[in-house]
Amino acid sequence: MNSLLSSHTTLIIIITVIISLLAWQKDGLMDKLIFYPPAVNKGEWYRFITHGFIHADSTHLLFNMFTLYFFGRVVEGFFNQFLGGFGFLAVYLAAIIVAMIPSYLQHKNDPRYRSLGASGGVSAILFSFILMAPWNMLYLFGVVPIPAIVFAIAYVAYSIHANKKGNSNINHLAHLWGGGFGVLATILLSPNVLPHFLSALMHPSF
């Protein structure tokens, strides 16, 4: 049990599941934690963090936590070489904040806008993994194999297209900025990752 809880990935998942379940059950808690620009404008800056620990429904929660579990465990050791062993937590939380900033600036005065979910932080972890292992296979829906770099290109292209259409409840902009932050944070913490990525990209291995 101690070894399990020593994993920052596992701790984040446990906390996120608990808070999401509570938000579904307790009246008013969801509204208190969700990202809501008018409330942020009044000084409730904590929403930049708390929105990342609540989810719309069980499918939303399961997808994010499933992704975080598989890729977080892989890159956690890399990040925890930095910031006194708390690098993974720092990058994950920072990604949640940074990923929401563009959406906040775009909807700053929109009383109808709300956003929630860990996708910004999860995208950062996923894209950090892709940077380190671009030709590793990812499995869409746990079944369909696809090289990580191909997935990244398709993911970015789809997110840009979907964000321009703007006809869904998914915050595609947060996905893009979260992923971008994950790449930038990884390179800033360890610049050698970039030449490794470029070298790996030129020498595909499956």
Structure tokens at 173: 């902009």
C-alpha torsion angle, residues 20, 52, 119, 196 (rounded to 10): -130
Q: Which amino acid is at 176?
A: L
156/52 Cα distance (integer angstroms): 21
User: What pLDDT digit, counting tens, does each position of 112-167 carry?
Assistant: 999 999 999 999 999 999 999 999 988 776 678 889 899 888 888 888 877 777 65
80/185 Cα distance (integer angstroms): 13
User: What pLDDT digit, counting tens, does each position of 50-74 carry?
Assistant: 999 999 999 999 989 998 998 999 9
* Residue burial 161-184, b: 16+ Cβ < 10 Å; e: rest: ebbeeeeeeebbbbbbbbbbbbbb
> What pLDDT was estimated at residue 205?
73
| Surface-to-core class of residue 26, CB atoms within 10 Å of its CB (0-12 exposed, 13-18 middle, 19+ buried) | exposed
User: What pLDDT digit, counting tens, does each position of 75-115 carry?
Assistant: 999 999 999 999 999 999 999 999 999 999 999 999 999 99
**pTM of the predicted model, to two decimals?**
0.90
* DSSP 8-state secondary structure symbol assigned to residue 144: E
Q: Give yes or no for a contact between 122 and 67, defined as CB atoms under 8 angstroms apart.
A: yes
Q: Which domains does the chain have, with CATH numbers?
A: 8-202 (1.20.1540.10)
Structure tokens at 131: 């940077």
